[in-house]
């Protein structure tokens, strides 16, 4: 849980700057001056100069004060505990010395500088959000204790790391925090964040100013800064480099843009809305003096409101924005929700999040703009699981997320470590809900979804729903959440039970949009509850609701009927300009309704491939022949359809034995003879799996299909130090499709973990994979440990760098030349 925030700005001038009433001039590059002064090589961490060369650093900073800087930044860019650890000095010491130097230099205002940690955050890297937060919190407290007036968090590339720094400063100090990120020539940070996403995220969390520094010169920075302005709820700040760097013949880094040219280009930056300006690498007191003259000569326009109130849900790379007056719709995918999904429920409880991530990827492939994430299973640690699944999804897909929980603590946990601005699902009109959820949205700059229900239940009339919506919007505003950050869900009832309310719901959508000016959401599929062929009714309702003004339908984007309705509506509302998407999607296609439902059912395991959805030649043949053909040619959707059709004629076991097994044998023969190459073998296995899944549903059988054998599983792992696991994954897939149960330990697995798992499962066969010469040692150690602890287990090894000889040398029983060979080995051993 986050600490409450206090913000104190005692300096009147700074208060005016932060209110956007006057501009502020920062300083220029420090590294440049340190290099000029011949101090560059003194320490590996130049921040240590504050302790050893205080007078020299002071002289450099005095030059910025004399050039007219309103604020000097402390020489503490690297002063975090990671970088200072080996030098025997504390973070506090360095900040204290650095602020004292800036004070002695005569700085009117002192900004405590905080740069990135240099480490990569989870799940891509190793550092947890909390570790990063703690590092920044220590710096922030040190800056405040040292007497800084404000903090500048700068040169960040990772939005999540910037968020950790910003939150640490806001929660651990009372200082205003200015926050800048650094962008490449293509207008993205190397993590993929755009200026607009950075501006909307950081300013909504509470940055006192947001902006851009480093990497680019003023000319390249100007358009990027201008693109931030409509999304920044605070002043805009820009500190470019003096052009792009060059390495001179003596090895020194030089910048070519002089003060004149720099300030000419800075005019465009100021025109674009920047109010707090300065320089970064390569800029000198001469640049700053020239910039002072420019600022003093320009009439200051006063507060120009460039911020455009817009409903935004963002990830770290992309955002969905629904602007007032624009007819755009955004689809929220509903499938990451364990309600009614046994396998997803079991996977979540077991801590296996791959299925949830796969659901996400498949929905994005099918056109979801936002993913709803619900992990509500009784007995689960919802806070941890929601946070982890959201992080895994953010590492996998770029679309923003809607965090869905009735547990405010889970919402906060996931929201805190989310890169961007999530949509919180949900708050409702009950006093308790408003009190618990709205502060979370306010603290993290999230948008929030309000449900029109309260202590009295769900009103049956449009006016009743509207009045709760109105109360939610008012309560949000009181909690510091602007109206544009609220969306309202008027709650769909089942037509089977509440038929008379359906049109009231649509009228409520219209009322909320027109009179409250908020965006609207509806969970479309509720309407058909209890009725047959639900997709038919849902699609009708979807079109009606969109016409009534629905902005964000929550639905299953893998259902072709909805996709058709959405594609059609986007032509009608003008979102699909010139009908380009519609034409690209439907041109040359035929009515595909008969294949559609099955495609949606298997799509949890694969994306819908339009390339394979045209099996016209299959139509006249019987389902058994079609299934055989679909598996042999590796077409999953067609295999699922055929398996479904065949279910009426044959038992699942007969289908598995008489159709699928011969099909897989045929595929194996073709692969062995060289007629097929590996992706064909894999596609066939995937098609067989799609068919097994259909049979499994019917037989309510084990998840991996009807043919799974009993007996101890095969334990598979990629060895320690190696993260290449494609080969291991292919092996797993083929083994499972030949009916062998598999325990997959993943990649980078320690020898001890492999031995323990083999012992625990009583494994007769262990498969190890290594792709790099450097990790063969780890493979050898794993085999040695297995021999000691599980002598009965046989070991097969594979991987690009191995040969049969080498496999023997390191003590393996079998060498699997490829994934198919591992199946032959398994057949022999088990």
Partner 1 sequence: MEASFPFGPVPLDCAVDIPRALRYLGRRRQEVPQHIGDQLAAVADRCRETARPRAMVSAAFPLIWPVRETEGAGVESRAREGRGLLLAGAGLELPGNDIARFLEGCTHAVLLAVTLGMENERELMRARALGPVQDFIADACASSMAEEAARAASAQVEQRAAAAGFRCTRRFSPGYGDLPLSLQPAMLRLTGADRMLGVQAGPSFLMTPMKSVTAVVGLAPENVEGRRAGYGRTAHA
Q: Which is nearer to partner 1, 262 or 311 (CB)?
A: 262
Q: Which of residues 311-330 bind partner 1 (CB under 8 A)?
A: 317
Closer residue to partner 1, CB minimum distance, 157 or 782: 157
Part in contact with partner 1 (CB under 8 A); list of ranges 424-432, 470-478, 703-711, 768-776: 768-776
Report DSSP letters for 196-230, one per residue.
Answer: HHHHHHHHHHT-SEEEEESSS-HHHHHHHHHHHGG
The distance of closest approach from Cβ of residue 247 to partner 1 in the complex, given in angstroms and rounded to an integer, is 5
Q: Which two tokens stand for residue 470?
A: 């109105």
251 touches partner 1 (CB under 8 A): yes
186 binds partner 1 (CB under 8 A): yes
By the 10 Å C-beta count (0-12 exposed, 13-18 middle, 19+ buried), 60 is classed as buried
Between 89 and 119, CB nearer to partner 1 = 119
CB of 722 to partner 1, least distance (A): 8
Residue 35 found at the interface with partner 1 (CB under 8 A): no
The binder of partner 1 chosen from 19, 81, 184, 580 (CB under 8 A): 184
191 interacts with partner 1 by CB under 8 A: yes
Q: Is 651 in the site for partner 1 (CB under 8 A)?
A: no
Cβ closest to partner 1, residue 294 vs residue 802: 802
What gap in Å lies between CA 654 and CA 270, rounded to an integer?
A: 75
- Report how far residue 158's alpha carbon sits from residue 347's, in angstroms, rounded to the nearest whole number: 30
Interface of this chain with partner 1, residues 405 to 434, rule: CB under 8 A: none
Distances, alpha carbon 86 to alpha carbons 114, 115, 116, 146, 523, in Å: 19, 18, 18, 22, 55
The torsion angles phi and psi of 748, rounded to 5 degrees, stand at 55, 50
Strands (E), 632-713: none
User: Which CB, 16 or 670, lies closer to partner 1?
Assistant: 670
Q: For the CB of residue 399, give the shortest distance to partner 1 in the complex, in Å.
A: 10
Closest distance to partner 1 from the beta carbon of 410 (Å): 23
- Residue bearing tokens 């903090």: 151
Which DSSP letter does residue 45 get? S
What's the distance, Cα to Cα, between the start and end of the chain in Å?
A: 52
In the set 36, 66, 185, 478, which binds partner 1 (CB under 8 A)? 185
Residues 123-152: x/- map of binding to partner 1 (CB under 8 A)?
-xxx--------------------------
Q: How many of the chain's residues bind partner 1 (CB under 8 A)?
A: 72
Looking at the Cβ atoms of 564 and 612, the one nearer to partner 1 is: 612
Q: Does 584 bind partner 1 (CB under 8 A)?
A: no
Chain residues 550-579 in contact with partner 1, contact rule CB under 8 A = none
Radius of gyration over alpha carbons of the chain, in Å? Answer: 30
Single out the residue of 504, 576, 629, 720 in contact with partner 1 (rule: CB under 8 A): 720
The window from 10-18, 604-612, 701-709, 790-798 that contacts partner 1 (CB under 8 A) reads 604-612
Alpha-carbon distance 680 to 21, whole Å? Answer: 65
Q: Quick check: 679 binds partner 1 (CB under 8 A)?
A: yes
The least distance separating partner 1 from the CB of residue 674, rounded to whole angstroms, comes to 7
Nearer residue to partner 1 within complex by CB, 484 or 722? 722
Rounded-to-10 torsion of CA 223, 224, 229, 233:
-170
Q: How many CB atoms lie within 10 A of CB 611?
A: 8
In whole angstroms, the minimum distance from the beta carbon of 363 to partner 1 comes to: 11
Best CA proximity match to 551, nearest among 705, 320, 250: 320
Structure tokens at 122: 């989870």
Nearer to partner 1, 290 or 317 (CB): 317
Tokens standing for residue 136: 């920044």
Under the binding rule (CB under 8 A), the answer on residue 635 touching partner 1 is yes
Query: How many CB atoms lie under 10 A from the CB of residue 478?
Result: 11
Q: Shortest Cβ distance from residue 639 to partner 1 (Å)?
A: 12
Q: Which of 686, 693, 744, 780 binds partner 1 (CB under 8 A)?
A: 686
By the rule CB under 8 A, 157 interacts with partner 1: yes
**Which CB sits closer to partner 1, 387 or 689?**
689
Query: How many other C-beta atoms lie within 10 A of the C-beta of residue 467?
Result: 16
If the CB atoms of residues 102 and 257 are measured against partner 1, the closer one turns out to be 257
Q: Please identify, among the stretches 331-339, 539-547, 725-733, 786-794, the one whose residues bind partner 1 according to the rule CB under 8 A.
A: 725-733
- Quick check: 120 binds partner 1 (CB under 8 A)? yes
Applying CB under 8 A, among 20, 376, 634, 799 the residue interacting with partner 1 is 634
Q: 658: burial class by Cβ within 10 Å (0-12, 13-18, 19+)?
A: middle
37 near partner 1 (CB under 8 A)? no
Encoded tokens for 402 = 């809607």
Give the ranges where 19-158 is alpha helix by DSSP (H): 31-36, 49-52, 54-67, 81-84, 91-104, 129-145
Q: Which of 380, 353, 413, 347 is nearest to 128 (CA)?
A: 413
| Residues between 203 and 242 with contacts to partner 1, criterion CB under 8 A | 215
The residue from 5, 16, 103, 188 that contacts partner 1 (CB under 8 A) is 188
Q: Which residues pair with 24 in a beta bridge?
A: 276
Q: Which stretch binds partner 1 (CB under 8 A): 32-40, 100-108, 633-641, 806-814?
A: 633-641
Instruction: Give yes or no for residue 580 binding partner 1 (CB under 8 A).
Output: no
Adjacent-strand bridge partners of 769: 718, 798
Q: Give the residue with the Cβ less far from partner 1, 185 or 808.
A: 185
CA quadruple 222, 225, 229, 234: dihedral positive or negative?
negative
803 binds partner 1 (CB under 8 A): no
* Of residues 254 and 785, the one with the C-beta less far from partner 1: 254
By the 8 A CB rule, do 169 and 151 touch? yes
Among 133, 156, 595, 676, binds partner 1 (CB under 8 A): 676
What is the footprint of partner 1 within residues 346-405 (CB under 8 A)?
354, 357-358, 360-362, 364-365, 395-398
CA distance linking residue 286 with residue 294, whole number of Å: 12
Residue 190 in contact with partner 1, rule: CB under 8 A: yes
Q: Which of residues 252-311 bind partner 1 (CB under 8 A)?
A: 253-254
Is 669 a binder of partner 1 (CB under 8 A)? Answer: no
Strands (E), 758-820: 765-769, 794-798, 814-815
Shortest spacing between CB 3 and partner 1, in angstroms: 30
Q: What is the DSSP letter of 188?
A: S
Using the structure block, give the residue that is written with the tokens 């509506």. 569
Residue 30: CA count within 13 A, CB half-sphere: 23
Tokens 């969905």 belong to residue: 320
Task: Verify binding: residue 589, partner 1, rule CB under 8 A.
Answer: no
Q: E strand or H helix at 553, and its extent?
A: strand 552-555
From the list 540, 575, 585, 605, which residue makes contact with partner 1 (rule: CB under 8 A)? Answer: 605
Contact 442, 479 (CB under 8 A): yes
Q: Could you give the CA distance from residue 602 to residue 688 in angstroms, rounded to a whole number? A: 12
């Amino acid at each position: 849980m986050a600490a409450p925030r206090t913000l104190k700005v005692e300096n009147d001038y700074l208060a005016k700057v932060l209110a956007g009433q006057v501009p502020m001039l920062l300083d220029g590059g420090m590294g440049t001056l340190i290099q000029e002064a011949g101090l560059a090589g003194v320490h590996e961490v130049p921040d240590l100069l504050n302790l050893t060369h205080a007078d020299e650093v002071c002289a450099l900073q005095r030059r910025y004060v004399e050039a007219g800087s309103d604020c000097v930044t402390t020489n503490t860019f690297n002063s975090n505990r990671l970088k200072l650890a080996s030098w025997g000095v504390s973070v506090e010491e360095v900040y204290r010395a650095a602020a004292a130097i800036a004070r002695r230099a005569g700085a009117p205002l002192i900004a405590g500088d905080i740069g990135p940690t240099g480490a990569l955050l989870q799940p891509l890297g190793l550092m947890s959000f909390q570790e990063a937060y703690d590092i920044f919190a220590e710096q922030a407290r040190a800056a405040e204790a040292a007497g800084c007036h404000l903090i500048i968090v700068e040169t960040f590339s990772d939005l999540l790391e910037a968020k950790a720094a910003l939150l640490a400063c806001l929660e651990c100090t009372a200082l205003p925090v200015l926050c800048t990120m650094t962008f490449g020539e293509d207008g993205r940070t190397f993590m993929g964040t755009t200026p607009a996403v950075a501006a909307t995220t950081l300013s909504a969390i509470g940055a006192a100013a947001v902006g851009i520094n480093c990497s680019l010169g003023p000319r390249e920075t100007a358009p990027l800064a201008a693109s931030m302005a409509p999304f920044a709820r605070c002043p805009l700040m820009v500190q470019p480099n003096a052009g792009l760097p060059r390495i001179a013949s003596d090895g020194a880094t030089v910048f070519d843009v002089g003060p004149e040219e720099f300030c000419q280009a800075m005019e465009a930056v100021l025109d674009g809305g920047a109010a707090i300006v300065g320089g970064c690498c390569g800029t000198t007191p001469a640049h700053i003096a020239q910039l002072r003259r420019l600022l003093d000569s320009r009439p200051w326009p006063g507060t120009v409101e460039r911020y455009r109130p817009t409903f935004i849900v963002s990830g770290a790379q992309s955002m969905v924005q629904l602007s007032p007056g624009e007819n755009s719709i955004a689809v929220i995918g509903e499938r990451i929700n364990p309600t009614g999904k046994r396998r997803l429920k079991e996977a979540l409880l077991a801590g296996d999040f791959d299925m949830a991530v796969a659901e996400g990827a498949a929905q994005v492939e099918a056109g979801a703009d936002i993913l709803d994430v619900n992990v509500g299973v009784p007995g689960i640690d919802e806070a941890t699981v929601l946070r982890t699944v959201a992080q895994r999804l953010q590492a996998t897909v770029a679309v923003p997320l809607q965090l869905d929980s009735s547990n405010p603590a889970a919402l906060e946990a996931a929201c805190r470590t989310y890169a961007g601005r999530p949509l919180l699902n949900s708050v409702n009109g009950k006093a308790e809900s408003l009190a618990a959820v709205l502060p979370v949205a306010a603290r993290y700059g999230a948008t929030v979804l309000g449900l029109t229900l309260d202590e009295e239940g769900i009103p049956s009339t449009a006016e009743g729903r509207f009045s709760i919506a109105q109360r939610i919007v008012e309560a949000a505003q009181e909690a510091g959440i602007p109206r544009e950050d609220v969306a309202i869900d008027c709650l769909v009832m089942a037509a089977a039970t509440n038929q008379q309310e359906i049109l009231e719901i649509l009228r409520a959508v219209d009322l909320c949009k027109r009179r409250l000016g908020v965006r609207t959401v509806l969970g479309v599929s509720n309407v058909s509850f209890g009725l047959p062929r639900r997709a038919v009714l849902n699609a009708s309702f979807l079109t009606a609701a969109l016409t009534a003004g629905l902005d964000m339908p929550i639905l299953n984007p893998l259902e072709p009927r909805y996709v058709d309705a959405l594609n059609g509506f986007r032509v009608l509302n003008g979102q699909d300009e010139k009908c380009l998407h519609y034409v690209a999607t439907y041109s040359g296609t035929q009515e595909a309704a008969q294949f559609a439902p099955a495609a949606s059912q298997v799509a949890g395991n694969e994306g819908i491939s339009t390339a394979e959805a045209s099996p016209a030649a299959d139509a006249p043949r019987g389902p058994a022949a079609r299934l055989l053909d679909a598996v042999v040619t590796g077409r999953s959707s067609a295999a699922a359809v055929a398996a479904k059709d065949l279910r009426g004629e044959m038992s699942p076991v007969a289908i598995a034995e008489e159709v699928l097994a011969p099909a897989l044998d045929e595929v194996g023969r073709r692969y062995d003879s060289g007629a097929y190459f590996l992706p064909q073998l894999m596609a066939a296995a995937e098609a067989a799996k799609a068919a097994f899944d259909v049979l499994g549903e019917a037989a309510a059988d084990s998840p991996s299909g009807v043919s799974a054998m009993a007996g101890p599983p095969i334990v598979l792992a990629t060895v320690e130090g190696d993260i290449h696991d494609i080969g291991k994954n292919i092996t797993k897939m083929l083994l499972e499709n030949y009916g062998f149960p598999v325990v997959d330990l993943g990649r980078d697995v320690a020898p001890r973990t492999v031995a323990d798992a083999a012992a625990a499962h009583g494994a007769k066969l262990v498969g190890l994979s290594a792709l790099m010469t450097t990790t063969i040692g780890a493979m050898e150690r794993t085999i040695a440990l297995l021999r000691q602890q599980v002598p009965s287990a046989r070991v097969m090894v594979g991987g690009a760098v191995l040969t049969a000889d080498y496999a023997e040398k390191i003590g393996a029983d079998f060498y699997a030349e490829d994934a198919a060979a591992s199946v032959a080995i398994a057949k022999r051993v088990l």
